[in-house]
Structure 1
């Protein structure tokens, strides 16, 4: 029973880490395309998101591959949810890409 709770907690942590990572990516793309310094946005966001996620995986796993796998599964589940939520708004392209479509 204790092992099941441990894996459920690891999966929940993976969902949280995935929401942070992919939500942050979505925000970065929305802000970065209209920024005067997009490289700074994208690089800074990448470093920040990767640091949070890799640290989270390390601490959640506790050296156990089962917990790492559960965390990874939660992370992938969060990716699917974030993809669905961001596509549901009908905004599949960043504003700059929409403007470029009209130019062609």
Structure 2
């Protein structure tokens, strides 16, 4: 592998991690705020649309905007980073909810 491809794959992984953090972090914040707003459907709709557009633009940038060589490898690595953040957020939120439910029962 040449240095350019390695750098592109590292950028792809970092972008996937960033996109995953934005998407799942935004989802987590949206869920937390739903009970505090007067129109939760509007918050949920706007949050979902904005998170989806940002994520799709990020994947487009990684897959299409960079050089045409090794497109599928960059997209796969970006998706891997995205899924790593999904795993992190589902595990973190699950542990946070478990500790909150234990505190409320005591």
Q: TM-score range by the shorter chain?
A: 0.7 to 0.9
Aligned to 1:9: 11
Aligned to 1:75: 82
* Residue 60 of structure 1, CA deviation: 1.5
**5+ residue gaps in structure 2?**
none
Q: For 1:60 and 1:76, locate their aligned partners in 2 and report how far apart those are by CA, in whole Å.
A: 16
TM-score, normalised relative to structure 1: 0.80
Which of 69, 86, 97 is equivalent to 1:90? 97
For 1:57-80, what per-residue CA distance to the aligned partner results, in whole angstroms no more than 9, with x for missing partners? 101123511111111110000101
Contact 1:14 1:71 survives alignment (8 Å): yes
* Residue 24 of structure 1, CA deviation: 0.2
Greater fraction helix: 2
Which of 22, 25, 31 is equivalent to 2:24? 22
**5+ residue gaps in structure 1?**
99-104
* Residue 86 of structure 1, CA deviation: 1.7
RMSD: 2.0
Q: For 1:92 and 1:16, locate their aligned partners in 2 and report how far apart those are by CA, in whole Å.
A: 27
Contact 1:86 1:92 survives alignment (8 Å): no
* Residue 34 of structure 1, CA deviation: 3.1
For 1:71-96, what per-residue CA distance to the aligned partner results, in whole angstroms no more than 9, with x for missing partners? 11100001011112222223588xxx
